[in-house]
């Protein structure tokens, strides 16, 4: 198993891509800590599924957009588990609207959770990673952070910001053997993308070279690769997992 003995934190890990990532990392031997804004009752089935797989797993309720909450949670995790090896910044939201209708709250909410939340978690963990002289930080960007997308100015800006943040922190932490990478998924089947009509989904599929939407497992596999020793000389990378959508 590639991640035996490793301790992984996955923000927003109770469902969607985050939960698929937890299962994949657990299948490679990692201890899993899910942090999520939902309460422990809602996260309980995810923890149970991980434990049923034989993994050690724990849930912490935490809002990534709240700096104090992110810091307290990370400190508590490091104290309880005696370390931290892998941080997956997965928590994210959308508030899709054309810029004409997008108000300040729509913009701020998406930036605060997606971009500031990623900064908060990196800020809360980087001293630990520097001291440890090893670590993996993997953040969920998106192909729309590369291409832009009408109706997603807030979301695209947050994801483009994550790409800049990733490359900058990769330069700062490289000498400490800490790799910092981003994953840019295309169109992945989760609750986040479920709201579109079947017609819109078919139109999206036809524009993807591989002619299908991705699964959370497609993304989780790439995250697991970046978290493993197989990717120990890869940093500052933005890995598209998009069936060729953003080529």
Could you list the residues that contact ligand NAP (CB under 6 A)?
11-12, 14-18, 36-38, 63-65, 90-93, 113, 117, 140, 142, 185, 187-188, 190-193
Helix-, strand-, coil-residue percentages of the chain, each rounded to 5: 50, 15, 35
Residue 103 or 194: the one with the smaller Cβ distance to ligand NAP is 194
Q: Least distance in Å: CB of 199 to ligand NAP?
A: 18
* DSSP 8-state code for residue 39: -
Q: Are 110 and 158 in contact (CB under 8 A)?
A: yes
Query: Looking at beta carbons only, is 85 or 242 nearer to ligand NAP?
Result: 242
| Least distance (Å) between residue 123 CB and ligand NAP | 15
Return the H-helix or E-strand segment holding 41.
helix 40-52
- How far apart, in Å, do the first and last CA atoms of the chain sit? 33
Whether 126 is a known active-site residue: answer: no
DSSP for 212-232, written as a single string? S-B-HHHHHHHHHHHHSGGGT
Find the catalytic residue in 60, 119, 155, 187.
155
Nearer to ligand NAP (CB atom), residue 1 or residue 44: 44
Min dist CB 133 to ligand NAP, Å, is: 28
Catalytic residues: 155
């Amino acid at each position: 198993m590639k991640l035996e003995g490793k301790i992984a934190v996955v923000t927003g890990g109770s469902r969607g891509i985050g939960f698929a990532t937890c299962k994949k990392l657990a299948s490679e031997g990692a201890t899993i800590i899910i942090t999520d804004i939902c309460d422990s009752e809602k996260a309980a089935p995810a923890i149970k599924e991980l434990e049923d797989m034989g993994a050690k797993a724990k849930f912490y309720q935490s809002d990534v957009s709240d700096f104090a909450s992110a810091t307290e949670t990370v400190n508590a995790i490091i104290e309880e588990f005696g370390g931290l090896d892998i941080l997956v910044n997965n928590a994210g939201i959308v508030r899709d609207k054309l810029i004409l209708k997008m108000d300040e709250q729509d913009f701020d909410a998406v930036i605060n959770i997606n971009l500031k939340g990623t900064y908060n978690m990196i800020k809360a963990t980087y001293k630990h990673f520097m001291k440890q002289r090893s670590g993996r930080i993997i953040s969920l960007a998106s192909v729309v952070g590369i291409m832009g997308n009408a109706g997603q100015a807030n979301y695209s800006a947050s994801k483009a910001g994550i790409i800049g943040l990733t490359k900058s922190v990769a330069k700062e932490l490289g000498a400490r053997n800490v790799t910092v990478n981003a994953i840019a998924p295309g169109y992945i089947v989760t609750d986040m993308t479920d709201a579109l009509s079947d017609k819109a989904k078919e139109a999206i599929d036809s524009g993807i070279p591989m002619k299908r939407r991705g699964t959370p497992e497609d993304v989780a596999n790439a995250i697991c690769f970046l978290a493993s020793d197989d990717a120990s000389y890869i940093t500052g990378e933005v890995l598209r997992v998009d069936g060729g959508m953003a080529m």
